[in-house]
């Protein structure tokens, strides 16, 4: 059986429906957000160590950064 295509193997093209410009007065490119906002809308690609649970690791990140809330994408068992 041929191997199926993983989501990260799909190539997508951008198709234009209409042209318009964006006003520089509003919003900003994600990588140009001021530090505070950059953190608030940020994600850390963390290398989870063995031992603690995913939940504990996320809680440590929260404490290190002194922020209110964190979440994590997909539990990795402790062990």
Partner 1 sequence: MTGVLPVTLEEARKIVQALLLSGKEYVCVMKLHGDVSENRVKAVLKEFEDVIYQRPPLRASVKRQLRTRRIYYIDFLEMEGRNVLFKVGCEGGTYIRKLCYDIGEVLGCGAHMQELRRTRAGPFIEGEGNVKLHDVAYWFMQWQEEGDDAILKKFIQPMEKALALVPKIYIRDSAVDAVCHGANLTAPGVLSLETGIGAGAMVAIFTLKGEAVALAEAQASTEEILSMEHGVVAKVKRVLMPRGTYPKCWKSGEI
User: Is residue 13 a contact residue for partner 1 (CB under 8 A)?
Assistant: yes
Rg over alpha carbons for the chain, rounded to the nearest Å, is 19
User: Is residue 43 a contact residue for partner 1 (CB under 8 A)?
Assistant: yes
User: Is residue 40 a contact residue for partner 1 (CB under 8 A)?
Assistant: yes
Q: Taking the chain, what is the end-to-end CA distance rounded to the nearest angstrom?
A: 35
- 69: tokens are 């809330």
- 78: tokens are 């402790």
User: Is residue 56 a contact residue for partner 1 (CB under 8 A)?
Assistant: no
Q: Which residues bind partner 1 (CB under 8 A)?
A: 1, 3-10, 12-23, 26-31, 33, 35, 38-50, 54, 57-58, 60-61, 64-65, 67-79
């Amino acid at each position: 059986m041929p191997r199926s295509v993983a989501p990260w193997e799909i190539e997508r093209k951008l198709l234009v429906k209409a042209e318009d410009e964006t006003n520089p007065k509003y919003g900003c490119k994600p990588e140009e957000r001021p530090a505070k906002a950059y953190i608030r809308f940020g994600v850390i690609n963390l290398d989870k160590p063995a031992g603690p649970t995913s939940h504990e690791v996320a809680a440590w990140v929260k404490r290190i950064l002194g922020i209110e809330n964190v979440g994590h994408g997909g539990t990795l068992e402790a062990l």
